[in-house]
Amino acid sequence: MKKFLALTLVILAMPARADDIPAWFAALDRDGNGAIVLDELHNARYQRFARMDTDGDEQLSLRELRNDRTWLSRFTWFDSNKNGRISIDEYEAKGMARFSMLDTNGDGRITLAELRAITKAAKRGKANTAG
């Protein structure tokens, strides 16, 4: 959970467009309605997986990920069955779990307001544990 919240903080700190919408959020929100739905997130995640799956076997190996620190740091989290490979099914399951965590009101959409509330809560939690 701490890694997830830290990643959320990093993502929200990324450069924003002029209208205060982070560029990464705008890229995922393909229809520009101010929310990311599961289909939009799934499409982006699948494209990322496919780029890394250089041999096209719908599994990611440590060899395929060797030059990407972000992927390597999360490899064991994604590799649920601990077989040394991340299957597309494992990747999709983690994506669904992450979507559910970010969709705090359960309406099937992730908004900037939800992400900012998560970030604010994480910062409060850090402040409470630091003192």
Encode pLDDT of 77-89 as tens digits.
999 999 999 999 9
Q: Kindly tell me the sign of the dihedral angle through the C-alpha atoms of 66, 60, 49, 72.
A: negative
**Where does the pLDDT of residue 19 fall: very low under 50, low under 70, confident under 90, or very high at 90 and above?**
low
Q: Which strand (E) or helix (H) includes residue 38? A: helix 38-52
Q: How many Å apart are CA 72 and CA 62, to the nearest integer?
A: 7
Are 99 and 110 in contact by the 8 Å Cβ rule? The answer is yes
Q: How many helices (H) and strands (E) does the chain have?
A: 8, 4
| 31-to-6, 116, 126 alpha-carbon distances in Å | 27, 21, 35
Q: What is the DSSP string of 62-109?
A: HHHHTT-HHHHHTHHHH-TT-SSEEEHHHHHHHHHHHHHHH-TT-SSE
> 36-82: per-residue pLDDT in tens?
999 999 899 999 999 999 999 999 999 999 999 988 999 999 999 99
Q: What is the pTM of this model?
A: 0.70
pLDDT of residue 15: 44
